Amino acid sequence: MIEAADEKGEYLKEQLQQIDGLLNVRGHGLMIGFDVADEYKDLRKKLLHKHKIFTGEAKPNTVRILPALTIGYTELDKLVDTIKEEIDYLKSLN
């Protein structure tokens, strides 16, 4: 299970690093964090209220993701797509 979490975590970090607007993507296993610029500070609220994706925050512009160890690649892709969608929406407001 630890090996699978490491593999999925690396996959998720690679996908998140491709999203313009996410900064300093980091983590270990499936404990992932990233920073966002000020214009995207509402990303966490959008993910929670619109998509029911619970995330943590370490500071106002840092988002933490801690999915279940049993999450599949399909769900990881959906998470990444949702983050991209909300970043694009927030970009359109600026």
Segment 73-90, tens digit of pLDDT = 999 999 999 999 999 999
Residue 6 has pLDDT above 90, yes or no: yes
Annotated domain spans of the chain: 2-93
Nearest to 92 by CA among 40, 51, 15, 17: 40
| pTM, 2 dp | 0.91
Pick the closest to residue 90 from 12, 24, 38 (CA basis): 38
Whole-number Å distance between alpha carbons of 80 and 57: 17
Q: Which tens digit of pLDDT belongs to each residue from 12-44?
A: 999 999 999 999 999 999 999 999 998 998 999
pLDDT for res 2: 86
Among the listed residues 55, 52, 35, 43, the one whose alpha carbon sits nearest the alpha carbon of residue 93 = 43
Q: Are 87 and 19 in contact (CB under 8 A)?
A: yes
Q: What pLDDT, on the 0 to 100 scale, is given for residue 22?
A: 96
- What is the rounded CA–CA span in Å between residue 91 and residue 70? 32
Q: Where are the alpha helices (DSSP H) in 18-94?
A: 43-51, 73-93
Class of domain 2-93: alpha beta
Instruction: Examine the pLDDT at 60 and tell me if it is beyond 90.
Output: no
